[in-house]
Structure 1
Amino acid sequence: MSDVLTPPKSRRNIEAALLLLALLVGIGANMVVGLDQDRAFDSDFWTQGATLVGLVLVFHLVLRFRAKYADPVILPIVTALNGIGLAMIHRLDIAEGTDAADRQLLWSAVAVAAAIAVLFLIKDHRILRRYTYISLIVSGILLLLPLTPLGLELNGARIWIQVPGIGTFQPGEIAKITLAIFFAGYLSANRDLILLAGRKVGPLQLPRLKDLGPMMAAWIVSIGVLVFQRDLGSSILFFGLFMAMIYVATSRVSWVLIGVALLTAGGLAATQLFSHVALRIDGWLNAFDPEVIDRQGGSWQVVQGLFGLASGGLAGTGLGQGRPDLVTYANSDMIIAALGEELGLIGIFAIVLMYVLLVSRGFRAALGTRDGFGKLLACGLSFTIALQCFVVIGGVTRLIPLTGLTTPFMSAGGSSLLANWIIVALLLLISEAARRPAAMGPMTGPMVPALPKSTAGTARKRTLREEEVRGS
């Protein structure tokens, strides 16, 4: 008796149950904030809660019709992170008298709408491979925009542009998606050429010099961002993205070693040539020096964040009962410090675990998809989230220098939220392609395309001759 292939289940009902839990986490956090601040169940609570529920419900329904086999865990994780971020931003608004939570809620609606548009416009992620070099051109335009008259310099970095009617926008957040599409398309098309043997030094197989062109281009782009835009975080992110994707494409450690050498050389040169980089490194190494704390652009922000984490301890002070408002940019760059103070080490571990699960589901989608482009794209987008989390949390805890990147889905910032929700939509598309059952013919298993008559006749004659030879 032949085996019968059982098609995979869509698991959208599992997603619905997990979404209910995620909404309870996000809306419950907002409720606790209101209770601690004597503003329980006010208009802000109902507006934010209803909007979040409506956005997630629409997204879930779209997945049922457009990507029914997509991963059922990604959307609930992102919903919980977005909800917790909204609750903390709302809590800081109460303390500081600002309205950042309203803007974050508006950007959440725009980001979810953009993600839904991606699901409708892109039926198959492999279509994006056609736009490999167009993505490169778009990336260059996006990275150059802050250097035009539209550019705006804030806190020493020139990575924003002023958009009339919208406010500030960070084009580099969208550029990380277009760069991932370019790298995935280029590496999947030229993998065999890149893998051609070069010189062997010990156990390492070094690439040929002419194959180093893409890595040198990525290195030049990252150094250019560091020099002209004075943004250390984006520079690390862009170059790290390419290093991860070329390692996935080639599985050669030599590429990683060359990338680390280039990154080290660029970092050392930048500390000697550019004062803003040297000040950032000095503020990291000598954070508790009184002179470093008090100077312009010193380590006061990092030190205050560390004191907040220390006061939170293991279990935290409780939502609404700490003083995260004492830290500069607590709702954006330092939101991890604010959450660590009020949720404690246990709360931070839970948040980090959600990021780990999100990244692992992205890698799982990469393993399951059948095309090289999709594998590289899913790996690149997942690694982008992982690297961004590492850079942000490492900077807040003083493991590495503070870079100013935002925490995905949680920090206040519309461009970051928009880009990360688009990444979620792309990961869902790739996971849907990985889990979608293959087309089946009636009682015959997987369908095989019919051959042309001439080809079919030739194949039939060849088969008959082979049978005659075996019979003789």
Structure 2
Amino acid sequence: MAQPAAPVAVAAGPGNAPPDRSAPTRRGTELSMLAFAAGLVTGALMLVEANQEQQLTLRIVWYGLAYLALFGVAHAAVRAWAPYADPLILPCVALLNGLGLVMIYRLDLAYSERALAANREINNQVPKQILWTTIALVLFLVVLKVLNDHRTLTRYGYTFGLVGLVMLALPAMLPGVIAPTINGAKIWLRIGIFSIQPGEFAKILLLVFFAAFLVSKRDLFMAAGRRVAGVDLPRARDLGPIVVAWAVSVGVLIFEKDLGTSLLFFGVLLVMLYVATERIIWVVVGLIMFAGGCVLAYQAFGHIQLRVHNWLDPFADYDGGGYQIAQSLFGLGTGGVGGTGLGAGRPDMVPLANSDFITAAIGEELGFIGLAALLLVYTLLAMRGMRSALAVRDTFGKLLGGGLSFALIMQVFVVVGGVTKLIPLTGITAPFLSAGGSSLLANYVLVALLLRISDAARRPHAGSRPRIVPQTPIAEAHTVMVERPEERPES
């Protein structure tokens, strides 16, 4: 009987070799960083209680443990469904969310004291924010579980784009009973006791559409037109998509009085267009168009003129439209470099300190150092998202990951720029920090998408490792006739 021959190594193709299970997933690093974030949040709560002369009890420790358990569930989901995802994205989000809860709790103490003095009803925001955080994490788990591959979103790109445009335009189209004007902006929908900001969700839907559209129509934007001063200008017939986006952003600015969403929407589109084409001319053309639209809107509409005047000189109308930004500047000046300390300042003097102006409250009590550290956490979160976008292998993932990361950091720029009087005030809230459910829900969906993209980018793929294939026994091998070439006589 013929003995089986020894196995031989055969080079494996891309689909033959399984992923390398021994590759590190860094989930342990993620868990330790989550524990570190929970410790920081618990310590911050203790400082607030001490400076507010509240009694220190074990309740704070239980709060910290509950916070860690909540994000421990999210960690377990990432470990199970996206094991190779970036290990720093979730801890950064947890830290930002936790610091937001701490500051909202600190402001609740101040608001409660003022309500008791005025014999008014106390309306604490912390229980609502904890509930929204829990719901947002549930939505985060659903997206992470249902979406096994981010590339499946390309099938619904145009549907998402249509739904996103409708959601963006709804507040401007509906009457004031359903879409009231709040703080000068018409961006909310009120249904019974519930309020929702559809623009937050439209942002993600439109980002998916932009990425899918740019992947399918990339050649359209790569074509060069007339060359002027050494620069290849776009062809006139290729300007249609960017003109539509410009019209939508200017419409949001005019009819909804929302500079923040308009700037965010158009800015992210320009960045994604540059990433897709690597042509800076598209950014230049887009910025010129947006600046021209803002000038026309300023000349045509009085509410835009009023907002610009309050931005340029808030103290000219201190008791009116300039009061909020003036109080914000006073708070930042009071905080200085080191801050007054958590619980030791007066951030409640700024209207909407727990939502639109929460970064001003943090700047007052943590100072320039604390606010800079907070911005570094945001920057780290965006950089890890950008890194995953660069590493992922498909073009759609690169564009979507880059767009989501830039949208996050662009939103922070718009918020902090408005609070510090760098740009006019906007109605955008700080991601993961501000009180409110719409922003929290939308941003946790954004994080789930980033984790899914980073999992695809970091997951080991089949390489050229040899595949062991047993050799056929000699007795069962087929006979092959080999013709020996004729030997040529030597000349």
TM-score, structure 2 as length reference: 0.86
SS in 2 for 1:38: coil
Deviations, residues 240-294 of structure 1 (Å, cap 9, x unaligned): 11111101111111101111111110110111111111111111111222xx212
Query: What's the counterpart of residue 325 of structure 2?
Result: 302
| Cα offset, 1:159, TM superposition | 0.5
Match of 2:235 in 1: 208
Name the structure 2 match of 1:79: 94
Q: 1:43 to 1:238 in 2, by over 3 A?
A: farther
Look up the match of 1:21: 36
Tell me the distance in 2 between the aligned counterparts of 1:17 and 1:30: 20
**Correspondence for 1:136 among 135, 158, 161:** 161
Q: Among 451, 463, 471, which residue is 1:428 paired with? A: 451
Contact 2:185 2:256 in 1 (8 A): yes
Q: Supply the distance in 1 between the matched residues of 2:45 and 2:439 (Cα, whole angstroms).
A: 22
Superposed structure 1 runs of 4+ greater than 6 Å apart: none
Superposition deviation, residue 442 in structure 1: 6.9
Q: Are 1:99 and 2:127 an aligned pair? A: no
- Residue 351 of structure 2 aligns to a residue whose secondary structure is coil
1:34 aligns with 2:49: yes
- How many angstroms apart in 2 are the aligned matches of 1:28 and 1:181? 39
In 1: Cα distance, 2:55 partner to 2:362 partner: 20
Q: Are 2:85 and 1:61 equivalent residues in the alignment?
A: no
Report what 1:119 is aligned to: 144
- Deviating more after overlay: 77-86 vs 142-151: 142-151
Q: Render the CA deviation track for 1:378-426: whole Å, top value 9, x for unaligned.
A: 1111111111111111111111111121111101111011111111100
Structure 2 residue matching 1:162: 3-state secondary structure: strand
Q: Secondary structure at the match of 1:376?
A: helix
CA deviations 1:12-63 (Å, max 9, x no partner) are 0011111111111122212211222233456974674344222200000001
Q: Which SS does the other structure have where 1:347 is aligned?
A: helix
Equivalents in 1 of 2:55, 2:170: separation in Å? 43
For residue 183 of structure 1, what is the aligned residue in structure 2?
210
Name the CA distance, whole Å, in 1 between partners of 2:255 and 2:64.
41
1:377 aligned to 2:400?
Answer: yes
Which consecutive residues of structure 1, in runs of 5 or more, have no partner in the other structure? 446-472
Q: Cα gap change, 1:204/1:113 in structure 2, threshold over 3 Å: closer, same or farther? A: same
Residue 249 (structure 2) pairs with residue 249 (structure 1): no
**Helix, strand or coil at the partner of 1:354:** helix
Query: 1:420, 1:221 → 2: CA distance?
Result: 22
Q: Which SS does the other structure have where 2:466 is aligned?
A: coil
> Does the Cα contact within 8 Å between 1:81 and 1:410 map onto a contact in 2?
yes
Letter paired with 1:267? C
CA distance in 2, matches of 1:331, 1:47: 24
The 8 Å contact of residues 408 and 431 in structure 2, kept in 1 or not, is answered as yes
The separation in 2 between residues aligned to 1:103 and 1:127, in whole angstroms, is: 34
Q: Which runs of 5+ in 2 are unaligned?
A: 1-8, 12-16, 113-122, 469-491
CA distance in structure 1 between the partners assigned to 2:186 and 2:311 by the alignment: 21
* 1:151 matched residue in structure 2: 179
SS at match of 1:9: coil
Higher relative contact order (CA 8 A, sep 6+): 2
Q: Deviations over 1:346-377 (max 9, x none)?
A: 10110010011011001001110000000000
Q: Name the CA distance, whole Å, in 2 between partners of 1:396 and 1:442.
A: 55
Taking the TM superposition and a 5 Å limit, the aligned residue runs for 1:219-298 are 219-289=246-316, 292-295=317-320, 298=321
1:109 equivalent to 2:134? Answer yes
User: What SS does the corresponding residue of 2:414 show, helix, strand or coil?
Assistant: helix
2:136–2:441: 8 Å Cα contact kept in structure 1? yes
CA distance change for structure 1 residues 37 and 369 in 2, over 3 Å: closer, same or farther? same
Distance 2:189 2:427 in 1: 17
Contact map agreement 1:366 1:431 (CA 8 A) in 2: yes
* Residue 322 (structure 1) shift: 0.3
Amino acid of the structure 2 residue aligned with 1:235: S
Q: Tell me, yes or no, if the aligned pair for 2:35 and 2:68 is still in contact at 8 Å.
A: no
Residue of structure 1 equivalent to 2:419 = 396
Q: Which residue of 2 aligns with 1:466?
A: none
How many pairs does the alignment contain? 439
Matched to 2:38, the amino acid is: L
Assess, with a 3 A threshold, how the Cα gap between structure 1 residues 204 and 39 changes in structure 2: closer, same or farther: same
SS in 2 for 1:158: coil
Question: What SS class does the counterpart of residue 364 from structure 2 fall into?
Answer: helix
TM-score (norm 1): 0.89
Counterpart AA for 1:223: V
Alignment partners' CA distance in 2, 1:51 and 1:302? 36
Equivalent pair of 2:307/2:425 in contact (CA under 8 Å): yes
Q: CA deviation at 1:305?
A: 0.7
Q: Is contact 1:8–1:435 with CA below 8 Å preserved after alignment?
A: no
Give me the identity figure in percent.
49
Equivalent residue of 2:180, what SS? Answer: strand
| Aligned AA (2:246) | W
Inter-partner Cα distance in structure 1 for 2:266 and 2:56: 46
Residue 316 of structure 1: CA displacement?
0.7
Letter in 2 for 1:390: F
Name the CA distance, whole Å, in 2 between partners of 1:425 and 1:443: 35
| Structure 1 residues 153-207: Cα deviation after superposition (integer angstroms, max 9, x where no partner) | 2122110011335x21100000000010000000011112221121111222111
Looking at structure 2, the residues matched to 18 and 369 of structure 1 have their Cα atoms a distance apart, in angstroms, of 24
